[in-house]
Amino acid sequence: MSKVKVAAFSISLDGFGAGPRQDLQNPLGVRGTELHGWFFHTDIFKKMQGQSGGTNDIDNQMAAQSFDNVGAWILGRNMFGPIRGEWKDDSWRGWWGENPLYHTPVFVLTHHARAPLAMEGGTTFHFVTDGLDSALQQAKAAANNNNKDVRIGGGVSVIRQYLLAGQIDEMHLALSPVLLGEGENLFSGLNLHQLGFTIVRTVPGENATHLFLKKK
């Protein structure tokens, strides 16, 4: 049965999953890249960039595992790009170049319609204007074609909304040794215990602590 999961989502020690003031120079918000320092040195990340020389350590294993059995993704509009409001044209094609890392259907939540965008490597971005439930239904349908899972990629607001809706089955959070101090806080106002989550596994990596939570 298809699961809905968050995987390898980086947060700071004070609970922030993104920095403030996203723009072209700061796709993860100001100082947001600091959350992902554990990932940038890994073999899997280097290969995504067409490079070699990454580490094959615990952090790399955790990153690689996060892509296992994923049949569809859901992203918020800000995860796709810094464009706000109506799409002026189709020139913005994401942060990742012509061969994004997803290699599956990706459902992007937005208030503004846009035609699907097919990329190299099997990624197709579908722009969903009728809400969280519709995006999840479409993602599950796509993933279930291959008996795979749906991965909620973020950002923070999207994960929080799916958590509050009771739609997420499990989470892998990469706790980075960073104090961000401002930005988007994943836990603000949430009671994960009341939402049914418990920590089932903790894995100390080289540059992050990997926490695995499941809903009871």
Domain count, the chain: 1
Domain assignment present for 167: yes
Domain assignment present for 89: no
Domain assignment present for 92: no
Q: Supply the CATH number for residue 54's domain.
A: 3.40.430.10
Provide the residue range defining the domain that includes 71.
Answer: 4-84+99-215
Domain assignment present for 146: yes
Domain assignment present for 141: yes
Domain assignment present for 108: yes
Q: Rounded to two decimals, what is the model's pTM?
A: 0.95
Helix H, strand E, coil C: the string for the chain is: CCCEEEEEEEECCCCEEECCCCECCECCCCCHHHHHHHHHCEHHHHHHCCCCCCECCHHHHHHHHCCCCEEEEEEEHHHHCCCCCCCCCCCCCCCCCCCCCCCCEEEEECCCCCCCEECHHHCEEEEECCCHHHHHHHHHHHHHCCCCEEEEEECHHHHHHHHHCCCCCEEEEEECCCCCCCCEECCCCCCCCCCCEEEEEEEECCCCEEEEEEEC
Q: pLDDT tens digits for the chain (216 residues)?
A: 789 999 999 999 999 999 999 888 898 999 999 999 999 999 999 999 889 999 999 999 999 999 999 999 999 999 999 888 999 888 999 988 999 999 999 999 999 999 999 999 999 999 999 999 999 999 999 998 889 999 999 999 999 999 999 999 999 999 999 999 999 999 999 999 999 999 999 999 999 999 999 998
